[in-house]
Amino acid sequence: MENKNVEVRDLRVKEKFNLKKFLVRWEMILLYILILINVVLMISKPNLYFAAGTIPSIIQSGMDLSFMVLGMIFILMLGDIDVSVASIMILSSMVMGLMMDAGINSVIAVVCGIIAGGLCGLFNGILVAKVKMPAVIVTIATMSLFRGIVKIVLDVNVLKNFPPIFKTLSWQNLFGFVPLSLICFLIFAAIFAVVLHRSKFGRELYMIGNNKVASEYSGINVERVKIMAFVIMGIMAAVSAIFFVGRMGGGVSSTMGKGYELEVIAIAVLGGISTSGGKGKVYGPVIATLIMAFLSYTLGLLGVDANTRKIVTGVILIIAVLIPNINKQFFANMKASFASKRNK
Protein backbone atom coordinates (compact mmCIF):
# COMPACT_ATOMS: atom_id res chain seq x y z
CA MET A 1 0.00 0.00 0.00
CA GLU A 2 1.38 3.40 -0.99
CA ASN A 3 2.22 5.93 1.70
CA LYS A 4 0.54 9.17 0.67
CA ASN A 5 2.24 11.13 3.46
CA VAL A 6 5.74 10.78 2.02
CA GLU A 7 7.52 14.16 2.12
CA VAL A 8 8.53 15.48 -1.28
CA ARG A 9 12.04 16.91 -1.22
CA ASP A 10 12.90 19.99 -3.27
CA LEU A 11 16.25 19.16 -4.89
CA ARG A 12 16.66 22.53 -6.56
CA VAL A 13 19.74 24.49 -5.56
CA LYS A 14 18.67 27.73 -3.91
CA GLU A 15 21.43 30.29 -3.97
CA LYS A 16 21.28 32.98 -1.31
CA PHE A 17 21.05 36.58 -2.43
CA ASN A 18 24.52 38.13 -2.66
CA LEU A 19 24.46 41.93 -2.74
CA LYS A 20 28.07 42.24 -3.94
CA LYS A 21 27.46 39.92 -6.90
CA PHE A 22 24.20 41.67 -7.70
CA LEU A 23 25.83 45.12 -7.80
CA VAL A 24 28.49 44.00 -10.31
CA ARG A 25 26.17 42.08 -12.63
CA TRP A 26 26.30 43.24 -16.24
CA GLU A 27 22.73 44.53 -16.12
CA MET A 28 23.61 46.70 -13.11
CA ILE A 29 26.72 47.98 -14.89
CA LEU A 30 24.46 48.98 -17.79
CA LEU A 31 22.27 50.86 -15.33
CA TYR A 32 25.34 52.72 -14.03
CA ILE A 33 26.28 53.63 -17.61
CA LEU A 34 22.76 54.94 -18.26
CA ILE A 35 22.95 57.09 -15.11
CA LEU A 36 26.41 58.36 -16.13
CA ILE A 37 25.18 59.42 -19.58
CA ASN A 38 22.30 61.28 -17.94
CA VAL A 39 24.72 63.03 -15.57
CA VAL A 40 26.95 64.09 -18.49
CA LEU A 41 23.93 65.42 -20.39
CA MET A 42 22.62 67.13 -17.27
CA ILE A 43 25.94 68.91 -16.62
CA SER A 44 26.70 69.85 -20.23
CA LYS A 45 23.17 71.00 -21.17
CA PRO A 46 21.25 71.64 -17.91
CA ASN A 47 18.68 74.01 -19.43
CA LEU A 48 17.86 71.56 -22.19
CA TYR A 49 17.93 68.48 -19.94
CA PHE A 50 15.37 69.91 -17.50
CA ALA A 51 13.20 71.44 -20.22
CA ALA A 52 9.74 69.96 -20.56
CA GLY A 53 9.61 67.16 -23.11
CA THR A 54 13.36 66.56 -23.48
CA ILE A 55 13.58 63.20 -21.67
CA PRO A 56 10.40 61.81 -23.32
CA SER A 57 11.74 62.87 -26.75
CA ILE A 58 15.05 61.09 -26.12
CA ILE A 59 13.27 57.89 -25.09
CA GLN A 60 10.89 58.08 -28.06
CA SER A 61 13.83 58.34 -30.45
CA GLY A 62 14.89 54.80 -29.58
CA MET A 63 11.52 53.09 -29.43
CA ASP A 64 11.20 52.24 -33.13
CA LEU A 65 14.23 49.95 -32.74
CA SER A 66 13.21 48.55 -29.38
CA PHE A 67 10.67 45.99 -30.57
CA MET A 68 13.17 44.47 -33.01
CA VAL A 69 15.66 44.19 -30.14
CA LEU A 70 13.22 41.93 -28.29
CA GLY A 71 12.92 39.65 -31.31
CA MET A 72 16.70 39.64 -31.77
CA ILE A 73 17.10 38.26 -28.22
CA PHE A 74 15.49 34.98 -29.32
CA ILE A 75 17.60 34.78 -32.49
CA LEU A 76 20.91 35.42 -30.69
CA MET A 77 19.89 33.03 -27.91
CA LEU A 78 19.97 30.26 -30.53
CA GLY A 79 23.47 31.28 -31.62
CA ASP A 80 22.08 32.66 -34.90
CA ILE A 81 21.77 36.21 -36.27
CA ASP A 82 19.30 38.11 -38.45
CA VAL A 83 20.54 41.09 -40.47
CA SER A 84 17.36 41.35 -42.55
CA VAL A 85 15.25 42.92 -39.78
CA ALA A 86 15.35 46.51 -41.12
CA SER A 87 14.33 45.31 -44.59
CA ILE A 88 11.43 43.32 -43.09
CA MET A 89 10.37 46.43 -41.18
CA ILE A 90 10.28 48.54 -44.36
CA LEU A 91 8.52 45.81 -46.36
CA SER A 92 5.86 45.48 -43.64
CA SER A 93 5.34 49.25 -43.53
CA MET A 94 5.02 49.25 -47.34
CA VAL A 95 2.29 46.58 -47.16
CA MET A 96 0.41 48.66 -44.58
CA GLY A 97 0.82 51.85 -46.61
CA LEU A 98 -0.27 50.36 -49.94
CA MET A 99 -3.39 48.82 -48.38
CA MET A 100 -4.30 52.12 -46.73
CA ASP A 101 -3.74 53.90 -50.07
CA ALA A 102 -6.23 51.44 -51.57
CA GLY A 103 -8.82 52.47 -48.99
CA ILE A 104 -8.63 49.30 -46.89
CA ASN A 105 -9.42 49.61 -43.18
CA SER A 106 -6.36 50.62 -41.12
CA VAL A 107 -6.70 47.73 -38.66
CA ILE A 108 -6.85 45.18 -41.48
CA ALA A 109 -3.85 46.86 -43.14
CA VAL A 110 -1.80 46.68 -39.92
CA VAL A 111 -2.72 43.02 -39.41
CA CYS A 112 -1.68 42.24 -42.99
CA GLY A 113 1.58 44.13 -42.47
CA ILE A 114 2.31 42.05 -39.37
CA ILE A 115 1.44 38.86 -41.27
CA ALA A 116 3.85 39.95 -44.03
CA GLY A 117 6.59 40.39 -41.43
CA GLY A 118 5.84 36.96 -40.00
CA LEU A 119 5.99 35.39 -43.48
CA CYS A 120 9.40 37.01 -44.10
CA GLY A 121 10.57 35.53 -40.81
CA LEU A 122 9.11 32.16 -41.78
CA PHE A 123 11.05 32.26 -45.05
CA ASN A 124 14.28 32.97 -43.16
CA GLY A 125 13.50 30.25 -40.60
CA ILE A 126 12.83 27.56 -43.20
CA LEU A 127 16.09 28.29 -45.00
CA VAL A 128 18.05 28.22 -41.73
CA ALA A 129 16.31 25.31 -39.99
CA LYS A 130 15.18 23.06 -42.85
CA VAL A 131 17.70 23.78 -45.61
CA LYS A 132 20.52 24.09 -43.01
CA MET A 133 21.94 27.29 -44.48
CA PRO A 134 23.96 29.59 -42.16
CA ALA A 135 21.71 32.29 -40.69
CA VAL A 136 24.13 35.10 -41.53
CA ILE A 137 24.22 34.09 -45.24
CA VAL A 138 20.45 33.62 -45.42
CA THR A 139 19.61 36.96 -43.82
CA ILE A 140 22.20 38.90 -45.84
CA ALA A 141 20.53 37.51 -48.96
CA THR A 142 16.98 38.21 -47.75
CA MET A 143 18.01 41.69 -46.59
CA SER A 144 18.72 42.51 -50.24
CA LEU A 145 15.69 40.54 -51.44
CA PHE A 146 13.13 42.28 -49.19
CA ARG A 147 14.66 45.73 -49.70
CA GLY A 148 14.75 45.09 -53.47
CA ILE A 149 11.03 44.24 -53.49
CA VAL A 150 10.27 47.54 -51.74
CA LYS A 151 12.43 49.49 -54.22
CA ILE A 152 10.74 47.86 -57.22
CA VAL A 153 7.24 48.50 -55.88
CA LEU A 154 7.75 52.03 -54.53
CA ASP A 155 10.60 53.28 -56.71
CA VAL A 156 11.02 56.92 -55.55
CA ASN A 157 7.47 57.27 -54.25
CA VAL A 158 6.65 57.95 -50.60
CA LEU A 159 3.62 56.43 -48.88
CA LYS A 160 1.91 59.04 -46.70
CA ASN A 161 -1.68 57.91 -46.11
CA PHE A 162 -1.06 56.53 -42.62
CA PRO A 163 -3.66 57.28 -39.91
CA PRO A 164 -2.89 59.72 -37.04
CA ILE A 165 -2.77 56.79 -34.57
CA PHE A 166 0.73 55.95 -35.87
CA LYS A 167 2.03 59.37 -34.80
CA THR A 168 0.09 59.16 -31.54
CA LEU A 169 1.72 55.85 -30.60
CA SER A 170 5.16 57.24 -31.39
CA TRP A 171 4.93 60.74 -29.92
CA GLN A 172 2.11 60.82 -27.37
CA ASN A 173 3.02 61.20 -23.68
CA LEU A 174 0.76 59.96 -20.91
CA PHE A 175 0.42 62.37 -17.96
CA GLY A 176 2.56 64.76 -19.98
CA PHE A 177 5.87 62.98 -19.45
CA VAL A 178 5.55 59.17 -19.89
CA PRO A 179 5.96 58.14 -23.57
CA LEU A 180 3.18 55.86 -24.77
CA SER A 181 5.73 54.03 -26.94
CA LEU A 182 7.81 53.25 -23.82
CA ILE A 183 4.78 51.74 -22.09
CA CYS A 184 4.08 49.57 -25.15
CA PHE A 185 7.74 48.50 -25.22
CA LEU A 186 7.76 47.58 -21.53
CA ILE A 187 4.57 45.53 -21.94
CA PHE A 188 6.14 43.59 -24.81
CA ALA A 189 9.39 43.24 -22.82
CA ALA A 190 7.47 41.76 -19.87
CA ILE A 191 5.81 39.23 -22.19
CA PHE A 192 9.18 38.29 -23.70
CA ALA A 193 10.70 37.96 -20.21
CA VAL A 194 7.95 35.54 -19.15
CA VAL A 195 8.33 33.51 -22.35
CA LEU A 196 12.14 33.36 -22.12
CA HIS A 197 12.48 32.72 -18.40
CA ARG A 198 9.27 30.90 -17.49
CA SER A 199 8.11 28.89 -20.49
CA LYS A 200 9.08 25.63 -22.17
CA PHE A 201 9.92 27.54 -25.37
CA GLY A 202 12.32 29.78 -23.44
CA ARG A 203 14.07 26.80 -21.85
CA GLU A 204 14.43 25.23 -25.29
CA LEU A 205 16.05 28.42 -26.61
CA TYR A 206 18.62 28.31 -23.81
CA MET A 207 19.30 24.59 -24.32
CA ILE A 208 19.73 24.84 -28.10
CA GLY A 209 22.01 27.86 -27.71
CA ASN A 210 24.19 25.99 -25.22
CA ASN A 211 24.31 22.63 -26.99
CA LYS A 212 22.32 21.98 -30.15
CA VAL A 213 23.29 18.31 -30.45
CA ALA A 214 22.41 17.51 -26.84
CA SER A 215 19.09 19.33 -27.33
CA GLU A 216 18.23 17.13 -30.31
CA TYR A 217 19.07 13.97 -28.34
CA SER A 218 16.90 15.16 -25.44
CA GLY A 219 13.88 15.29 -27.74
CA ILE A 220 13.69 19.01 -28.54
CA ASN A 221 12.45 19.78 -32.05
CA VAL A 222 15.28 22.19 -32.92
CA GLU A 223 13.90 22.97 -36.38
CA ARG A 224 10.51 23.97 -34.98
CA VAL A 225 12.06 26.21 -32.30
CA LYS A 226 14.32 27.94 -34.82
CA ILE A 227 11.48 28.58 -37.26
CA MET A 228 9.31 29.97 -34.44
CA ALA A 229 12.13 32.30 -33.34
CA PHE A 230 12.55 33.71 -36.85
CA VAL A 231 8.77 34.12 -37.26
CA ILE A 232 8.64 36.05 -33.97
CA MET A 233 11.55 38.18 -35.20
CA GLY A 234 9.63 39.00 -38.38
CA ILE A 235 6.49 39.89 -36.41
CA MET A 236 8.46 42.19 -34.10
CA ALA A 237 10.03 43.90 -37.12
CA ALA A 238 6.49 44.55 -38.39
CA VAL A 239 5.45 45.93 -34.97
CA SER A 240 8.49 48.21 -35.10
CA ALA A 241 7.24 49.43 -38.49
CA ILE A 242 4.21 51.01 -36.80
CA PHE A 243 6.37 53.10 -34.46
CA PHE A 244 8.97 53.78 -37.16
CA VAL A 245 6.37 55.23 -39.55
CA GLY A 246 4.92 57.33 -36.73
CA ARG A 247 8.32 58.70 -35.75
CA MET A 248 9.10 59.51 -39.38
CA GLY A 249 6.01 61.72 -39.50
CA GLY A 250 3.63 59.24 -41.12
CA GLY A 251 5.58 58.47 -44.30
CA VAL A 252 7.75 55.67 -45.64
CA SER A 253 10.09 55.23 -48.61
CA SER A 254 12.40 52.49 -49.88
CA THR A 255 15.53 54.24 -48.59
CA MET A 256 14.45 54.50 -44.95
CA GLY A 257 15.76 52.35 -42.09
CA LYS A 258 19.14 51.49 -43.58
CA GLY A 259 21.67 50.50 -40.93
CA TYR A 260 19.02 49.72 -38.31
CA GLU A 261 20.00 46.05 -38.28
CA LEU A 262 23.48 46.89 -36.92
CA GLU A 263 21.99 49.03 -34.15
CA VAL A 264 19.50 46.32 -33.19
CA ILE A 265 22.24 43.69 -32.93
CA ALA A 266 24.52 46.12 -31.05
CA ILE A 267 21.79 46.87 -28.48
CA ALA A 268 20.98 43.19 -27.91
CA VAL A 269 24.65 42.25 -27.51
CA LEU A 270 25.35 45.27 -25.31
CA GLY A 271 22.45 44.06 -23.17
CA GLY A 272 24.33 40.86 -22.40
CA ILE A 273 22.92 38.46 -25.00
CA SER A 274 25.76 36.18 -26.06
CA THR A 275 26.44 35.93 -29.80
CA SER A 276 27.39 32.29 -29.28
CA GLY A 277 23.94 31.56 -27.85
CA GLY A 278 22.40 30.27 -24.65
CA LYS A 279 23.14 33.24 -22.41
CA GLY A 280 21.39 36.46 -21.48
CA LYS A 281 18.25 37.96 -19.98
CA VAL A 282 15.57 40.28 -21.35
CA TYR A 283 16.07 43.22 -19.00
CA GLY A 284 19.69 43.77 -20.13
CA PRO A 285 18.67 44.75 -23.69
CA VAL A 286 15.83 46.87 -22.27
CA ILE A 287 18.38 49.01 -20.39
CA ALA A 288 20.73 48.93 -23.41
CA THR A 289 17.93 50.32 -25.61
CA LEU A 290 17.67 53.36 -23.35
CA ILE A 291 21.47 53.70 -23.23
CA MET A 292 21.72 53.87 -27.02
CA ALA A 293 18.87 56.39 -27.23
CA PHE A 294 20.46 58.69 -24.65
CA LEU A 295 23.97 58.17 -26.07
CA SER A 296 22.89 59.01 -29.63
CA TYR A 297 21.05 62.11 -28.44
CA THR A 298 23.98 63.26 -26.27
CA LEU A 299 26.50 62.78 -29.09
CA GLY A 300 24.24 64.80 -31.37
CA LEU A 301 24.09 67.64 -28.86
CA LEU A 302 27.88 67.57 -28.57
CA GLY A 303 28.16 68.12 -32.33
CA VAL A 304 29.11 64.57 -33.34
CA ASP A 305 27.94 63.91 -36.91
CA ALA A 306 25.84 60.92 -37.98
CA ASN A 307 28.73 58.99 -39.58
CA THR A 308 30.85 59.28 -36.43
CA ARG A 309 27.89 58.06 -34.40
CA LYS A 310 27.82 54.94 -36.60
CA ILE A 311 31.50 54.40 -35.78
CA VAL A 312 30.64 54.69 -32.09
CA THR A 313 27.89 52.07 -32.56
CA GLY A 314 30.38 49.71 -34.22
CA VAL A 315 32.93 50.21 -31.43
CA ILE A 316 30.25 49.54 -28.80
CA LEU A 317 29.31 46.30 -30.59
CA ILE A 318 32.94 45.12 -30.62
CA ILE A 319 33.43 46.00 -26.94
CA ALA A 320 30.16 44.31 -25.97
CA VAL A 321 31.25 41.10 -27.72
CA LEU A 322 34.73 41.20 -26.14
CA ILE A 323 33.68 41.89 -22.54
CA PRO A 324 32.25 38.39 -21.77
CA ASN A 325 35.43 36.76 -23.11
CA ILE A 326 37.62 39.16 -21.11
CA ASN A 327 35.62 38.44 -17.95
CA LYS A 328 35.81 34.69 -18.56
CA GLN A 329 39.59 34.85 -19.04
CA PHE A 330 39.98 37.09 -15.99
CA PHE A 331 38.11 34.70 -13.70
CA ALA A 332 39.94 31.70 -15.20
CA ASN A 333 43.29 33.35 -14.42
CA MET A 334 42.13 34.20 -10.89
CA LYS A 335 41.03 30.60 -10.33
CA ALA A 336 44.32 29.22 -11.66
CA SER A 337 46.30 31.64 -9.49
CA PHE A 338 44.33 30.67 -6.40
CA ALA A 339 44.80 26.94 -7.16
CA SER A 340 48.57 27.33 -7.59
CA LYS A 341 48.86 29.16 -4.26
CA ARG A 342 46.97 26.36 -2.51
CA ASN A 343 49.26 23.74 -4.04
CA LYS A 344 52.31 25.58 -2.73
pLDDT at 160: 86
| Residue 4 falls inside a structural domain | no
> Please, which pLDDT band fits residue 328 given cuts at 50, 70 and 90?
low
Tell me the mean pLDDT in the region 62-71: 93
**Measured between alpha carbons, how far is 293 from 261 in angstroms, rounded to an integer?**
15
Residue percentage of the chain with pLDDT more than 90: 54
pLDDT at 1: 46
At 309-324, the pLDDT tens digits run 778 777 877 777 676 6
**Measured between alpha carbons, how far is 137 from 262 in angstroms, rounded to an integer?**
15
Identify the sign of the CA torsion 88, 92, 95, 97: negative
Does 72 score more than 60 pLDDT? yes
Give the DSSP H or E segment for 298.
Answer: helix 283-301
| Residue 19 falls inside a structural domain | no
**If you write DSSP's letter for every residue of 118-182 in order, what string do you get?**
HHHHHHHHHHHHTS---HHHHHHHHHHHHHHHHHHHHTT--B----HHHHHHHH-EETTTEEHHH
Q: Based on C-alpha coordinates, what's the Rg of the chain?
A: 22
Does 11 score more than 50 pLDDT? no
**Measured between alpha carbons, how far is 92 from 76 in angstroms, rounded to an integer?**
22
| Residue 243 falls inside a structural domain | yes
Query: Residue 130's domain is classified under what CATH number?
Result: 1.10.3470
Tell me the mean pLDDT in the region 37-61: 88
> Please, which pLDDT band fits residue 18 given cuts at 50, 70 and 90?
confident
User: Which residue, among 75, 293, 341, 48, has the nearest Cα to 192 in the 3D structure?
Assistant: 75
| Residue 206 falls inside a structural domain | yes
Does 208 score more than 90 pLDDT? yes
| Residue 343 falls inside a structural domain | no
pTM exceeds 0.75, yes or no: yes
| Residue 337 falls inside a structural domain | no
The number of domains in the chain is 1
| Residue 225 falls inside a structural domain | yes
What range does the domain containing 307 cover? Answer: 58-320
At 112-132, the pLDDT tens digits run 999 999 999 999 999 999 999
Q: Which residues of 228-251 are buried (b: 16+ CB within 10 A; e: fewer)?
A: bbbbbbbbbbbbbbbbbbbbbebe
| Residue 16 falls inside a structural domain | no
